Chains A and B, each alone.
Chain A
Amino acid sequence: MTVADLSAAQLAAQLAGPGLVLQTGPFTYRLQSPIDLIAQGVGQLYASYPVLPSTAFADFTVNVAAGRGLRRWVKPQARFLYDGQPVFDPLPGDQAYPLLEWAMNWCISSHAHQYLIIHAAVIERHGQAMILPAPPGSGKSTLCAGLVHSGWRLLSDELALISMNDGLIWPLCRPVSLKNASIDVIRRFAPRAEFNRVTHDTAKGSVTHMKVLPEHLSQMDRPAHARWLVFPKYEAGSATALTDRSRATSLVDLARNSFNFGVLGAAGFQRLGDVIEGCACMDFRYSDLRDAASVFERLSAT
Chain B
Amino acid sequence: MTTVSPPVAGQQANPLAEGLERVPIRPTTLTIFGATGDLSRRKLLPALYNLAHEGALPERFNLIGSSRSDMPHGDFREMAREAIRQFSRRKPDEKVLAALIDHARFVPGSFDDPDVYDEIAKIEDELDADAGISFNRVFYLSTAPMFFPVIVTKLGEHGLNEKPGAEVRVVIEKPIGTDLAEAKQLNRDVLEVLEERQVFRIDHYLGKETVQNMLAFRFANGLFEPIWNRNYVDHVQITASEDLGIGGRAGYYDSAGALRDLVQNHMLQLLTLLCMEPPTSFSADDVRDEKVKVLHAIHAPDPATVDEMAVRAQYGPGVVGGEHVPGYLEEEGVPPDSKTPTYVALRLEVDNWRWAGVPIYLRTGKRLPRKVTEIAVTLKPVPHLAFDQEGSVGVQPNQIVLGVQPNEGVTISLGAKIPGSRMRIRPVNMEFLYGTSFMSESPEAYERLITDAMRGDATLFTRNDEVEAQWTICDPILAGWDAQDGAVPQYEAGTAGPEEADGLLGPGERWRAL
Does A associate with B in a complex?
no
